[in-house]
Amino acid sequence: MILVSGGAGYVGSHCVKQLLQRGYEVMVFDNLSEGRREAVLTERFVQADLLDREALNRAFAEYSIDAVMHFAGLIKVGESVDDPQVYYQNNVVGTLNLLQTMHKHGVDRMIFSSSAAVYGDPAVIPIPESHPKRPKNPYGKTKWMVEQLLEDYAHAYGLRSISLRYFNAAGCDPAGELGENHHPETHLIPIVLDAALGRRECITIFGTDYDTPDGTCLRDYIHVNDLAEAHILTLEALKKGCASSAYNLGIGRGYSVREVIDVCRQVTGREIPLEEGKRRPGDPPQLIADPTCIQKDLGWQPRFTELDEIVSTAWEWRSKA
C-alpha cells in the first residue's frame, strides 16, 4: 500500500489516479486545507494533518504501508515570505513528523515533491541537479531543508528517498476527471484561461523588461501526467533498491509569459485581454530544467512535449469547472 500525503491536491490527485490505474493499493492522507474531497479517487482516505502525530501513527498502524509519496505542503512563494513560520511548521515539521512515523513503523521509502525553487536564481540554463542550492524564499528553503533531512535519514536509518524537483506543473487529466483548482489561483495558465472565460477582466504580465527574448519570464511547463509517470518510475526504482537521489522534472524547454498567452489564445479561440504590469518580486527571469538525469537513469520521457497539448487539457477541464 502506498500512502499519498496531499493526495487530494493538484499533483497528488493525478498521481493517485495513475497509481490506481497501475494496480497499486493507495491510501490518501490529506487535511483538505487546499485539496478537494472529490479529487480523492480511492476509498481509503484519512482527513488529517501532518502536524497531528497521533493521526499519523494511527494511519500507519491501520494500513500496511510499503512506501510514501509526499505531496502535502504549502506552495505559495509570496505567502511564505509574509508568514514564514507557517511554512517551516507545515513543510518542515510536518515532514519530520511523517519521517519519524515512517521510521517507527519500518517504512523505508519516500518520494518527495521538491521544487526548482531550491536553486534560487539560476547561474546556468538549463539547470542541472548539481547547480548550487540558493533558495530565495522560505518556500524554497523548506524544500531544500527537507531534501537535506532526507539525506541524513538515508545515512542514519537507511530510509531511501527520491526528491523530484518540479519545474512548472501544468495541464490536467486528459480524461477530464481531475483538474487544477487552487484558492486563490496564482498560476499562470489557469489565470490566463479564466481571462479567456471572462472570469477575470484580464491577465497582468508580471514584468516585460527581463533580459529574455520578448522581455517576459521563461518557464519550463511540464504536464501533470508526465510528473505522475515520473513518480511511478521512481517508486519502481526505489523498490528495486536504488540509492537516494534527486531529479529535475521539466521538459527542458522554456516558454515566455507572452508565448503562454498566445498559445492559450490559439487553443481557446478566444480574446484574452492583457495588461503589462510590474515585475513580481522574487521571480527569476528563466527557470528551465536539464532533465537528462531522470531520462538516463529511469528512462522517463515526457509525453506532452508541446505547450498547446498541455494547455488543451487544462482548457478542457477549466472550461467545464
Task: Look up cell 490505474; give the residue.
Answer: 21
CB of 138 to ligand UFG, least distance (A): 11
Nearer to ligand UFG, 115 or 313 (CB): 115
Binding mask 27-46 for ligand UFG (x = CB under 6 A): --------------------
Q: Does 186 bind ligand UFG (CB under 6 A)?
A: yes
Please choose, out of 81-89, 122-130, 186-194, 228-236, the segment that lies near ligand UFG by the rule CB under 6 A. 186-194
Do the Cβ atoms of 209 and 215 come closer than 8 Å?
A: yes
Part of the chain binding ligand UFG (CB under 6 A), chosen from 26-34, 111-119, 229-237, 298-306: 111-119
Is 221 catalytic? The answer is: no
CA–CA gap between residue 42 and residue 36 (Å, rounded): 13
Q: Which is nearer to ligand UFG, 257 or 272 (CB)?
A: 257
Please answer whether residues 260 and 308 qualify as being in contact, where contact means their C-beta atoms are separated by less than 8 angstroms.
no
CA distance 170 to 279: 22
Q: Exposed, middle or buried by CB within 10 Å (0-12, 13-18, 19+), for 112?
A: buried
Nearest CA among 1, 20, 41, 26 for reference residue 177: 41
Instruction: Determine, following the binding rule CB under 6 A, whether residue 195 of this chain makes contact with ligand UFG.
Output: no
Q: Show contacts with ligand UFG in window 64-93 (CB under 6 A).
A: 75, 77
Among 70, 131, 160, 219, binds ligand UFG (CB under 6 A): 219
Instruction: Give residue number: closest CB to ligand UFG.
Output: 217
Least distance to ligand UFG from the beta carbon of 288, Å? 11
Q: Is 251 in the site for ligand UFG (CB under 6 A)?
A: no
Among 117, 146, 178, 298, binds ligand UFG (CB under 6 A): 117
Distance (Å, whole) CA 260 – CA 263: 5
| Helix-helix angle 138-157:94-104, to 10 degrees | 20
Beta-sheet strands, E only, within 106-220: 109-115, 160-166, 168-170, 203-206, 218-219
Cβ of 191: how many Cβ atoms within 10 Å? 18
283 sits near ligand UFG (criterion: CB under 6 A): yes
Q: Shortest approach of ligand UFG to residue 201 CB, angstroms?
A: 12
Please count the residues of the chain.
Answer: 321
Q: 10, 87, 139, 247: which is the annotated catalytic residue?
A: 139
The residues assigned a catalytic role are 139
**Using CB under 6 A as the criterion, which residues of the chain lie in contact with ligand UFG when the complex forms?**
75, 77, 115-117, 139, 168, 186-188, 191, 203-206, 217, 219, 257, 280, 283, 287
